[in-house]
Amino acid sequence: MTEQLNTARHVALIPAAGVGARMEANIPKQYLPIAGKPMLRHALDAFLASPLVSHTYVVVSADDGWIDSVLPGHGVTVLRCGGATRMESILNGLHALEGVLQGQDQVLVHDAARPGLTPSLIARLIAEVGDHPAGGLLALPVVDTVKRAEQDNMSVTTVSRDNLWLAQTPQMFSYALLRHALSEVPDPHAITDDASAIEALGLAPKLVEGHPRNLKVTLPRDIATAELYLQHPELN
């Protein structure tokens, strides 16, 4: 009897239905230009350049009028089912892919506002997580001294940084596990990333060291830092 091969695919899912209010811009921040092209396009290009990712899906709001001008000519499918929150957009996207993805397919969820992603970081995540049943994510070990403050920003104690990490994306989980975890979240406000939904099930995703270039653009000042990495590949 021929042994059945593992046919799990790796696909990217980018929730891009947010408006990025803290950027104080007149368009959603994922479409702001960074280093010569829209922020979202940098993330799309990273996945398209990875031979390990078979397809990329972008979740946008139903009335998004910018996405069509950002898309490359191939390899990306737009899902116009974005929700009011990031978690809702991801879950809506997973529901839309029912019948397209199999339970064992690996979904790499990535922030549209992280333009510094590279194919090498994608490859590192996939290789180091492997077939870990709880999936995994890119993250950075905390290196700065951590303080806990009370009112008026007064430092009251120093927190040990041992075993502390800063989560990045992509975060990779099987389609079946991620859909189940997000569907079972008891308090959506307590879920700040996809890994926290997996942790709520009592599972422990694997942390894979990322890179500072994979920062999340949240405030206007972050654009200059992102452009520094994008324009100087030798900083990788």
Show me where the domains of the chain are located.
10-235
Q: Quick one: tokens of 146?
A: 């951590």
pLDDT above 70 (res 22): no
Stretch 64-70: mean pLDDT: 94
Specify the CATH number of the domain 10-235: 3.90.550.10
Residue 20 pLDDT: 52
User: Would the pLDDT of 21 be above 60?
Assistant: no
pTM of the model: 0.93
The enclosing H or E element of 46 equals helix 39-48
DSSP assignment letter at 186: S
Give the tokens for residue 135. 């999936």
Q: How confident is the model over 159-218, as pLDDT tens digits? A: 999 999 999 999 999 999 999 999 998 887 778 899 999 999 999 999 999 999 999 999
Total residue count of the chain as it appears in this document: 236
Cβ neighbours of residue 157 closer than 8 Å, sequence gap 6 or more: 147, 148
Confidence at residue 12, expressed as pLDDT on a 0 to 100 scale: 98
Q: What is the DSSP letter of 216?
A: -
Tokens of 195: 């890994």
Contacts within 8 Å (CB) and 24+ apart, 211-214: 211/116, 211/118, 211/121, 211/140, 211/236, 212/140, 213/116, 213/118, 214/114, 214/116, 214/117, 214/118, 214/121, 214/138, 214/168, 214/169
| CA-to-CA separations, 31 to 16, 18, 19, 49, 185, in angstroms, rounded | 10, 11, 10, 20, 30
Q: At what angle do helices 86-96 and 175-183 cross, to 10 degrees?
A: 130
Position 2 scores a pLDDT of 40
Tell me, what's the pLDDT at 5? Answer: 46
Closest CA to 56 of 82, 98, 93, 22: 93
